[in-house]
């Protein structure tokens, strides 16, 4: 792929312009500070309900005549709950302060490179392992879409409604790549971005495909999930060179025939100028391993 103009990502700050642009975006979409605070409050409430509920369950072991040792895990869970609340609050404050500059830079980057910037797209068609997750309010945000639709970088958000109506946010960064041909379908799970908080492996708790353990040169671990009929071709596609490239920025890779997706449980750092040379290298590497001549438009 051709090189990109990264100047807008490294230009000196213009705080006044950034704040004005960010305020205009919020006005267009009806976002308010109160709405952001409510979202943060919901996240805190979820942490508190789960944490204190578990701590209380441990404490009941002592109150019901059991050993006083039950107070140790109860105290540990309570301390962890407080730490998580502080973590959520600090993250919300940090994001609020950084958002105007991020919006200003990515808007300039899109304009300089002739890339379409879609601020919000509601109810995208479900595709792959991520886009379509959640029970309601499914949407794409901050989408950078190439004019020929051969590449797309953005955020997927939704809300999952669980037990007794408890709602929890679903968020992923994603990159959608047209391959220009048909590759074997598979899912490559990067262990480095798995966590209990994010729901563990992107493959889920039950996957009927055959797993193959892989390791990059730096020791990064991956699991390749593919149907038996596609196993050999998938293993040949994910060669050591591609593994090393993906290990540099741990992401999951899903190939669905004519297109591929990169996923991260954290949002893609699109204002990081070092991201783009790596991403273009990944795109070229995927297309080089796929039979075809030119990128196909995304559906």
* Model pLDDT for residues 76-88, shown as the tens digit of each residue: 777 887 777 777 7
**Could you give the number of structural domains in the chain?**
2
Task: Tell whether 255 and 132 lie within a shared domain.
Answer: yes
Task: Tell whether 172 and 219 lie within a shared domain.
Answer: yes
Task: Tell whether 93 and 235 lie within a shared domain.
Answer: no
Residue-range definition of the domain harbouring residue 47: 7-100
* Phi, psi at 124, each rounded to 5°: -70, 150
Distances (CA, A) of 20 to 15, 36, 101, 139, 144: 9, 18, 10, 25, 21
Residues contacting residue 13 through CB under 8 Å, at least 6 positions apart: 101
pLDDT at residue number 297:
44
pLDDT at residue number 293:
45
Helix (H) or strand (E) holding 102: helix 71-113
pLDDT at residue number 168:
83
Q: Is 193 exposed, middle or buried (0-12, 13-18, 19+ CB in 10 A)?
A: middle
Is the pLDDT assigned to residue 284 strictly greater than 50? yes
106 within a domain of the structure (yes/no): no
CA dist., res. 256 & res. 234, Å (int): 11
297 within a domain of the structure (yes/no): no
Q: How many residues does the structure list for the chain?
A: 299
293 within a domain of the structure (yes/no): no
Could you tell me what percent of the chain has a pLDDT over 90?
Answer: 51
298 within a domain of the structure (yes/no): no
* 0.85 surpassed by pTM: no
Task: Tell whether 207 and 257 lie within a shared domain.
Answer: yes
Whether the CB-CB separation of 188 and 253 falls below 8 Å is answered with yes
Higher pLDDT, residue 27 or 128 = 128
Helix (H) or strand (E) holding 262: strand 259-264
pLDDT at residue number 70:
62
């Amino acid at each position: 792929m051709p090189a990109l103009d990264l100047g807008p990502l490294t230009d000196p700050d213009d705080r006044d312009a950034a704040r004005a642009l960010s305020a205009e975006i919020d006005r267009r979409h009806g976002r308010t500070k109160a709405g952001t605070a409510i979202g943060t409050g919901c996240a805190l409430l979820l942490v508190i309900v789960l944490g204190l509920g578990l701590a209380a369950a441990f404490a009941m072991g002592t109150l019901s005549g059991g050993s006083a040792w039950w107070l140790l895990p109860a105290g540990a869970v309570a301390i962890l709950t407080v730490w998580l609340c502080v973590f959520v609050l600090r993250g919300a404050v940090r994001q609020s302060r950084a958002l105007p500059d991020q919006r200003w830079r990515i808007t300039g980057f899109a304009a300089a490179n002739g890339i379409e910037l879609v601020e919000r797209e509601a109810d995208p068609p479900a595709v792959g392992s991520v886009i379509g997750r959640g029970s309601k309010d499914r949407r794409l945000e901050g989408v950078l879409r190439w004019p020929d639709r051969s590449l797309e970088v953005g955020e997927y958000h939704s809300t999952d409604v669980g037990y007794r109506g408890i709602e929890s946010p679903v968020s992923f960064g994603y990159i959608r790549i047209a391959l220009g041909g048909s590759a074997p379908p598979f899912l490559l799970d990067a262990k480095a971005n798995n966590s209990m908080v994010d729901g563990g492996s992107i493959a889920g708790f039950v996957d009927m495909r055959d797993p193959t353990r892989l390791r990059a040169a730096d020791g990064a671990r991956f699991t390749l999930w593919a149907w038996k009929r596609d196993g050999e071709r998938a293993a040949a596609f994910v060669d050591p060179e591609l593994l090393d490239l993906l290990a540099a920025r741990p992401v999951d890779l899903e190939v669905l025939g004519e297109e591929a997706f990169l996923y991260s449980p954290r949002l893609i750092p699109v204002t990081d100028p070092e991201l783009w040379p790596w991403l273009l290298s990944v795109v070229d590497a995927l297309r080089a391993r796929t039979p075809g001549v030119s990128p196909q438009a995304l559906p």
